[in-house]
Structure 1
Amino acid sequence: MLTIDTHADTPQRFADQGWDFVDGPLGPGMIDLATARAGGLGAEFFAIWAEPSEWKGRYAHRTLQLIDGVLEQVRKHPEELRLCLSPEDIREAYAEGRFAVLLGLEGGHSIENSLSLLRVYHRLGIRYMTLTWSNTHEWADSCGDLHDDSVRRHGGLTGFGREVIAEMNRLGMIVDVSHASDETFWQVLACSRAPILATHSSARSLTDVPRNLTDEMLRALANAGGACMVNFFPAFIDEDWHAAWNRQRPERREAHEHAAKPWRERNLPIPFYVSDGVDRRFAARLPRAPFASLIDHIDHVAKVAGIDHVGIGTDFDGIPSLPEGIDSAADLPKIADALRERRYSEDDLEKLLGGNLLRVFAEVQAAATTQP
């Protein structure tokens, strides 16, 4: 059974630490080739994320650096890894016994307000774009800065934002609404002529955070042929963990400032592993979120949106903690086992674990007016 994960932040390790996906060792990471194979994971969308404050003014530079980090892994390990640009590529890689490597761009700020740059990223292999990260930028509102009065918001998409959606549709690039504001979500749904994804979001009715989708959104996403891929971050899937995490915020902010000081003094971008290390120390102080919380979210999305419109978007290597029982990609089979206990059929699991992504991907590319 082919399992596909729509979001992992592992490229930071390639670019900043010279870490190798095949040779490892896994270390503090959550996914490498060995754990992926142990967990039946056959394909991964690696998130290309230029942190917007650290790389301001150099978004394209950082984006290309991260893309290169992934492509170098494929170049060095052609027998184990294959860059995939289509659903057919994923299926072929799976049949060949090679791990399918895919690229997703996280944050529309990386295109620097340029459709030309968007097209260049597509030519390099980017097959989805998360319209915003936690930052509102020049053409789309994020849900991550809703309470920041200094942010100039647009009420969703700007006119240029709609041009971006149209160009993504033309190219056959999947539109990803994770991190988008509610207004952005609804406007994207209205103007996209191809199905859209939420590549790493969960259910707001179970855990009330803006990063998650409401039941109304889930149904609308499904009615348009899209899907919601459930995020594994405990703060998005468990109310108690979310509340405890928020209580740590003042102390955590102070620890981040202390850890950043040596980099600030040298006027250098703070590597993700520095801030992630701080968050991991604070997350370790909390009891892990119950495994059942993750299964509850998957189950809820499947019931509200329908079994054809749910998947997994783990956020591996981008979050400081995982729910109890999930330590790495090797533990992914536990999800199928838990869903079988809830009377999910093998056909259901095949859709949920990879089939739904393949369908949406194929429909987006079929709607394109330019071949990849």
Structure 2
Amino acid sequence: METVFDGHNDVLLRLWRNSREGSDPVDEFTGGTKKGHIDLPRARQGGLAGGLCAIYIPAGELVLKEPDSRGRYTTPLSPPLERAPSLDIALQMAAIALKLERAGAWKLCRDSADVAGAMATGKFAAVLHMEGCEAIGADLAELEVFYAAGLRSLGPVWSRNNIFGHGVPFAYPMDPDTGPGITEAGRALVRECNRLGILIDLSHITEKGFWDVAELSDQPLVASHSNVHAITPVARNLTDKQLDAIKESNGLVGLNFAVTMLRTDGRDKADTPIDEMIRHIDYLVERLGVDGVALGSDFDGALIPQAIGSAAGLQNLVAGLREAGYGNAELAKICRENWLRVLRSAWHEKPAA
């Protein structure tokens, strides 16, 4: 079995939502559930040893606009959120992450030694991520608090606008150059992430925002859960020019399992074959080299191929990659080693010996 460290999931969102209806997050995560994609039993079955676990502030359910007769759709951006209620929800999700750690359900990892130690002992290695920074004010005071709580990765925006920058809509076909880039507050956020050692994730941001961060940041460029625009021209996917910049920075792209970002027709259909996932990985490997390709499933945040189903089905993708000619060393990089390399760099750690 190939061990996987995954670059993006929304398990904290699912646990938070269910806790509001009376579910206990520890019991749901450790005991197993039919809900969503990730719990400990299914993670162990599929070889999922850990990943970046997102704090994401929902604003109702995202419903993709129905395609027109030519298969085109443009889902309007979600409206901006206010900081105070966003902060309340973010703190509640962080509290769930800390509660899981206290209960021994996972290890909340603050450096690569924590990740390595958790994976070596069979404990789920969770890295706290923030997907859209609506909970953080322009003075960045909240960032210090979340960093102390374990935050080690963030995306300045989700697919909506905030005080830090602008997001891309869910739309097909559409170029990611959909609006302005980061604001002055966004520039201050990037500089502070560089100082603290917090990974900056460029999934969901406009192309202009991508280039703004690329110009300002001292980190490898990372899109934790994005795919290839040349194959699937949704606004969320990356152009060849963006991929080239990611390669130049020694960054990476994590393959998003969302079927709308895999299929050439951009449709939301679960009967998407694993071959479509491998097609994107092949393209990314050709463009970035194998050192720049990883996994960013979007478990618990998207409709994924039914051939994967949940974390329990990860080895089906591994098997498909083996059949496509990927060897053990390449699979180790794609499944975990590339993520660990990039995290060490963003976190100001020395390269592994």
Gaps of 5+ in 2: 60-78, 173-177
Q: Secondary structure at the match of 1:207?
A: coil
Equivalent position amino acid for 1:165 in 2: V
The corresponding residue for 2:50 is: 43
Equivalent position amino acid for 2:337 in 1: G
Q: Does 1:59 align with 2:86?
A: yes
- Which of 160, 180, 185 does residue 185 from structure 2 map onto? 160
Would the aligned equivalents of 1:133 and 1:144 in 2 still touch at CA under 8 Å?
no
Q: Secondary structure at the match of 2:147?
A: helix
Equivalent position amino acid for 1:312 in 2: L
Q: Secondary structure at the match of 1:366?
A: coil
Q: Secondary structure at the match of 1:93?
A: helix
Task: Write out aligned runs for 1:84-233 (5 A).
Answer: 84-144=109-169, 155-233=180-258
Count of residues in correspondence between the two structures: 318
4+ residue segments displaced more than 4 Å: 52-55
Q: CA RMSD in A?
A: 2.1
Would the aligned equivalents of 2:80 and 2:162 in 1 still touch at CA under 8 Å?
no
Q: CA deviation at 1:172?
A: 0.5
Q: Does 1:32 align with 2:14?
A: no
Q: CA deviation at 1:139?
A: 2.3
- Which of 342, 345, 348 does residue 330 from structure 2 map onto? 348
Would the aligned equivalents of 1:21 and 1:33 in 2 still touch at CA under 8 Å?
no
Paired with 2:263 and 2:34, the residues of 1 have a C-alpha distance of: 26
The corresponding residue for 1:270 is: none
- 1:240-290 CA-partner distances (Å, limit 9, x unpaired): 3x24x4xxxxxxxxxxxxxxxxxxxxxxxxxxxxxxxxxxxxxxxx56212
Paired with 2:308 and 2:154, the residues of 1 have a C-alpha distance of: 27
Paired with 2:193 and 2:332, the residues of 1 have a C-alpha distance of: 28
Would the aligned equivalents of 1:141 and 1:157 in 2 still touch at CA under 8 Å?
yes
Equivalent position amino acid for 1:70 in 2: A
The corresponding residue for 2:102 is: 75
Equivalent position amino acid for 2:98 in 1: L
Q: Percent identity?
A: 32
Paired with 1:58 and 1:22, the residues of 2 have a C-alpha distance of: 26
The corresponding residue for 2:70 is: none
- Which of 302, 305, 325 does residue 307 from structure 2 map onto? 325
The corresponding residue for 1:261 is: none
Distance 1:190 1:73, change over 3 A: same
Paired with 1:123 and 1:347, the residues of 2 have a C-alpha distance of: 35
Q: CA deviation at 1:357?
A: 0.6
Q: Does 1:363 align with 2:326?
A: no
Paired with 2:29 and 2:171, the residues of 1 have a C-alpha distance of: 40
Distance 1:82 1:182, change over 3 A: same
